[in-house]
Structure 1
């Protein structure tokens, strides 16, 4: 036998280790190995580990080639540093070509990010788990045998089901036509496989409103007449129970007390599905008295995991279908991407292999798949490209300098590999490639510097930053110059002038929500006693100017205003504590009443502290400040934070001078913004649910001054705000025909038709900018706002000026996201990466610049040739965003405002 083997021709095909065990583990009647039960599971795992070790041994022996490739920049990965000196030396790293390794996971994640960058945010996120009771599995089991002892069968059936699901989505279009999809297969420690799928629809099939969500996703127990679907939902799609019903459930965050489910179960009841652009929607979950026994507990609709009835009935397994709009689903679908494991030894010691995973790999099934495919495009400096030279090849014709046409017609998405800021020249090359159009050579890219193209922050910005980081040195250097005005104006001694200068600086800082203490300069005013300081603040409040229009407002109040005015002034004159609330829709002269109260109380020699929740609203009242600035309320509320008002401080003394509090607003306009909460929870955060609400004396203003010439429209607004237009609770409202504007001929896209209807003069030369003072397009979604503003600025006459931001990642562990992908992000409250302005265009401030001059968050401005200092500021996404990373954008705090979100328009 040995001789026969030695006589085999050298051309005989060699069988790989994986091919051999794939042959050994085929289901044949004579294959006794497959009847070994638990021993078979151990055998499969051992053989797969042997296959894996063979691959890892190959990479150990190829380290020179691998390291050369990594440090030449062909692979888009980031190397984590080593902190332990004992580990410094030659690394035996796990390369990108190892399928399923950490570097491969990073590559797959970045490929998925490229799809999102090309086709937009994902629409649907699905999770499918293997069901060992599938008929295809049960029919192949011998009597008394369990599916766990046939992992080869479980893996094959699950793969077949996954391919059917893929066909339903991509070919049958059960959710609509698809632009891109990604799926990844993972394995539980118990051994069963599951898959995560991410779907991006074509624009015509995007899920945009709750009605679209309800077409494909259900989160309720089926009706009793649908027996099969109802039984399957109760078996596979009921969460828990957890919480107080089962404190030891794996999803409970605190098992030693009454903990909460980390997935948010039980959900709150909801009559209708509502949108949530920052995450998953709140699905329809009605309280219809349905109670079903599940795992010894009676559960209702709040415990149902969202599913698609058609696919769920087809596959009969755990099949979660969610509408998604954020990056969290992308993290799950593309796998864990921020693992710091890179050594082969670390990878081997941390591996957990289950029999089904071993069989999946032995059979050569794909762990990842995405459509269309993504190709990583390497970056290199001039003459720094890598050439792969093979023996016996004619190298003369390699640089043919001819473009070869694509032979296959498949769509392939290209992405530049990630380049870190620390790589210097290659990073600058990446910036040029992303921003210079039509370049055909390195010379075309390098004609202008990155600074001239405004792609980088200049060095003097960092110098200014370092200067600001030492405020004490700045004061010591310029205190005489800063105090000169006070010295000459009032002929005071130097010490007194310096004290007045510090007081003036602190007033400016307080207008921005800061203080001298914040910059470590609180000791500059220590020579001034608290009594003097309190007296100074009170005198400043009493000396605040009063406009003539506010004084005249007293005699122009209507009946409703007069009633509220008299009651509030009586409380002030009597010196008794009082609290009031002025309620009225937009246009019912609430601000007019506030100005009249301010003037009359001020003329009585009493202190008034006018505040508002937004800068634009505060600017409508003399000496108005935002409540956050006046009362030191933290912007990002946290259970550990409170207002920074010292009990013995000047602000506390100023507040103690007041005995009457007047609230005002309009509840139908905008509810409190409570991220990721249901409608019921948002209402619970309103003032009407507060413990002080019943203690307020309330006044209702009903005369709409702005709509006085259109009484029907005014009546419509009141009925809308009071909920009188709804025939049923939580029902949608039909707008009157005279309000709707419909393009009957459908000659233009909806956005273009709306733009021409609102701003018909936009394309005219010599445009009068005053047309923007009384017109705007309002929409609830920021994405729609950006789309409309993009259409308008493109058609707006004039020469565009583009300002690009400088975006940097704040966490080195997440510094793998492509720069062009981060540039495309624009969460609420942030300026866009590419800010395009034209003369006479309209824009809005996004930060408080100088509230005393009306430059505050929400101020509407017209782009003129006047000089107003608006600096570039460092912006970060709010804490409520669901980004898996934190980044910082340096940009002018401006945004086009031809179209505005409804919340931002409320002053």
Structure 2
């Protein structure tokens, strides 16, 4: 989104992590208390933002606390009532980025300092999430069921020497696995329904009357001073555009596909004669309604589809720079000694964040959306399914856990034994008629909704798995 809003002053935060040993990338404030010496204040301390931005918080009021309860009136469904009781850091900052009737406008009137506050708030949120991943995911291990069983037979029930550690899972928004899995899901939809009908780009217009009307509430403010307002208005416009395309069927029913006719009309530009082939594909009705640049093209090539999805899921923006370091230990290059890959460090290294992206992410607006849903299907050879266990778990207890050997793949074969209708579907098409219940580890017949299946990509290195998938 930040590339489309050209009027905004893009304040970016560059993050250089280093070698991961000497530089932990910690962000804190060191203060000196009377009689107690130096004390560190982390980003989770209530006074962190007040000390970091005294001009925005002149009274030094407390900020985020971990014990702020959520409003019970906002919990309308039983599902929401079962969720957490306290608000998180993102919800707090999303609350702060608002105009309040009974509050001063000191924060939202900060100009470029307000930009820095937004970027700083988002990076605090991301670092808090990454810290949780590092401190909790590293306690989990993954091993094949067969390998775990062999270890227990040998009498080794300590999990410390078994399995591999994994960090930054696909559930972390913006991570490399997140991007790869979303790309594979998008291609699975194309496999099932065919190529997309249109390729549409919607560019935010900072001169929208809704943005200007809100900015005028505070005298002297400009559009570039309120990236949070731009993000919110753009989200409203985007939702309205999606309703036009999906629910109101703006383009009507497709009866045929026509090529662009040669009407012999030309124009001369810089001494060059051009015809309608040089006109950017567009829809006049949508341009007039939304007062924005909307480019619409027909996806008619497979390579354009792959380019589109790979470009959208290419990952986070990074700054380009070179650091030369000649470090050796006893005459041996350091790079030959350290061979560990830290995915969290790689995600943060050279990362930069714009104020537009920070505003969008703080409000938790979608950065990708697909319909219908895609069920990711695991597969494996006999007794080679992955088993997840903790560092403190006893391996014999892990193996004796009820249903530990059950997976999507094994239960799919079980359904083929008991349900004749299941035999009419391939494994990839199985989620169209059946639903996987993770808690029960069981397939049940689908009653409503749409979903398609996708088998996880298998690298060609494990020869047996690769041949099994191709077969």
With normalisation by structure 1, the TM-score equals: 0.31
- From 393, 402, 414, give the equivalent of 2:453: 414
SS of aligned partner of 2:142: helix
Residue equivalent to 1:798: none
Q: How does 1:83-482 map to 2 (within 5 A)?
A: 93-142=167-216, 143-176=219-252, 205=254, 208-210=257-259, 271=262, 286-289=264-267, 304-326=279-301, 327-333=303-309, 335-337=311-313, 343-386=343-386, 396=402, 404-406=443-445, 408-432=447-471
**RMSD after superposition:** 4.2
CA 1:7–1:412 in 2, change beyond 3 Å: closer, same or farther? closer
Larger relative contact order (CA 8 Å, sep ≥ 6): 2
- Cα shift readout 1:168-199 (whole Å, capped 9, x = no counterpart): 1111112346xxxxxxxxxxxxxxxxxxxxxx
Mapped to 1, the partners of 2:299 and 2:93 lie a distance apart of: 41
CA 1:64–1:389 in 2, change beyond 3 Å: closer, same or farther? closer
SS of aligned partner of 1:321: strand
- Cα shift readout 1:829-862 (whole Å, capped 9, x = no counterpart): xxxxxxxxxxxxxxxxxxxxxxxxxxxxxxxxxx
Residue equivalent to 1:503: none
Check the 8 A contact 2:281/2:297 in 1, yes or no. Answer: yes
- Compute the displacement of 1:397 (Å): 7.3
CA 1:137–1:333 in 2, change beyond 3 Å: closer, same or farther? farther
CA 1:65–1:314 in 2, change beyond 3 Å: closer, same or farther? farther
Residue equivalent to 1:241: none
Mapped to 2, the partners of 1:314 and 1:105 lie a distance apart of: 33
SS of aligned partner of 1:19: helix
Check the 8 A contact 2:144/2:383 in 1, yes or no. Answer: no
Q: How does 1:636-785 map to 2 (within 5 A)?
A: none
- Compute the displacement of 1:98 (Å): 1.4
Mapped to 2, the partners of 1:165 and 1:350 lie a distance apart of: 35
How many residues were matched structurally? 310
SS of aligned partner of 2:243: helix
Mapped to 1, the partners of 2:249 and 2:116 lie a distance apart of: 41
Check the 8 A contact 1:372/1:412 in 2, yes or no. Answer: yes
Check the 8 A contact 1:152/1:359 in 2, yes or no. Answer: yes
Check the 8 A contact 1:114/1:415 in 2, yes or no. Answer: yes
Mapped to 1, the partners of 2:456 and 2:371 lie a distance apart of: 19
Residue equivalent to 2:44: none
Mapped to 2, the partners of 1:165 and 1:149 lie a distance apart of: 26
Check the 8 A contact 1:129/1:317 in 2, yes or no. Answer: yes
CA 1:336–1:133 in 2, change beyond 3 Å: closer, same or farther? closer
Check the 8 A contact 1:45/1:354 in 2, yes or no. Answer: yes
CA 1:13–1:6 in 2, change beyond 3 Å: closer, same or farther? closer
Mapped to 2, the partners of 1:371 and 1:337 lie a distance apart of: 17
Residue equivalent to 1:810: none
Q: How does 1:811-826 map to 2 (within 5 A)?
A: none
Q: Does 1:27 align with 2:99?
A: yes
CA 1:358–1:382 in 2, change beyond 3 Å: closer, same or farther? same
Residue equivalent to 1:592: none
SS of aligned partner of 1:369: coil
CA 1:381–1:132 in 2, change beyond 3 Å: closer, same or farther? same
CA 1:328–1:348 in 2, change beyond 3 Å: closer, same or farther? same
SS of aligned partner of 2:353: coil
- Compute the displacement of 1:27 (Å): 2.5
Q: How does 1:62-77 map to 2 (within 5 A)?
A: 62-64=136-138, 68=142
CA 1:67–1:404 in 2, change beyond 3 Å: closer, same or farther? closer
With normalisation by structure 2, the TM-score equals: 0.57
CA 1:7–1:312 in 2, change beyond 3 Å: closer, same or farther? closer
Check the 8 A contact 1:96/1:103 in 2, yes or no. Answer: yes
Mapped to 2, the partners of 1:324 and 1:358 lie a distance apart of: 31
- Cα shift readout 1:375-419 (whole Å, capped 9, x = no counterpart): 110112222234568999995578696764245511111010000
CA 1:64–1:306 in 2, change beyond 3 Å: closer, same or farther? same
Check the 8 A contact 1:123/1:206 in 2, yes or no. Answer: no
SS of aligned partner of 2:369: strand
- Compute the displacement of 1:315 (Å): 1.1
- From 14, 17, 22, give the equivalent of 2:89: 17
Mapped to 2, the partners of 1:383 and 1:156 lie a distance apart of: 50
SS of aligned partner of 2:85: coil
SS of aligned partner of 2:108: helix
CA 1:395–1:95 in 2, change beyond 3 Å: closer, same or farther? closer
CA 1:125–1:44 in 2, change beyond 3 Å: closer, same or farther? same
Check the 8 A contact 2:94/2:362 in 1, yes or no. Answer: yes
- Compute the displacement of 1:8 (Å): 10
Mapped to 1, the partners of 2:171 and 2:144 lie a distance apart of: 11
Check the 8 A contact 1:126/1:319 in 2, yes or no. Answer: yes
- Cα shift readout 1:12-50 (whole Å, capped 9, x = no counterpart): 922211111111112223243111111111100001011
Residue equivalent to 1:563: none
Check the 8 A contact 2:97/2:108 in 1, yes or no. Answer: yes
CA 1:14–1:38 in 2, change beyond 3 Å: closer, same or farther? same
Higher Rg of the two aligned structures: 1
- Cα shift readout 1:553-573 (whole Å, capped 9, x = no counterpart): xxxxxxxxxxxxxxxxxxxxx
- Cα shift readout 1:769-796 (whole Å, capped 9, x = no counterpart): xxxxxxxxxxxxxxxxxxxxxxxxxxxx
Check the 8 A contact 1:141/1:147 in 2, yes or no. Answer: yes
Where does structure 1 lack aligned partners over 5 or more consecutive residues?
A: 73-89, 178-204, 215-269, 273-285, 433-907
SS of aligned partner of 1:33: coil
Residue equivalent to 2:135: 61
- Cα shift readout 1:423-460 (whole Å, capped 9, x = no counterpart): 1222122123xxxxxxxxxxxxxxxxxxxxxxxxxxxx
Residue equivalent to 1:603: none
Check the 8 A contact 1:66/1:95 in 2, yes or no. Answer: no
Mapped to 1, the partners of 2:286 and 2:84 lie a distance apart of: 48
- Compute the displacement of 1:316 (Å): 1.2
Mapped to 1, the partners of 2:276 and 2:67 lie a distance apart of: 72
SS of aligned partner of 1:322: strand
CA 1:352–1:66 in 2, change beyond 3 Å: closer, same or farther? farther
Check the 8 A contact 2:145/2:386 in 1, yes or no. Answer: no
- Compute the displacement of 1:364 (Å): 1.0
Mapped to 2, the partners of 1:207 and 1:67 lie a distance apart of: 54
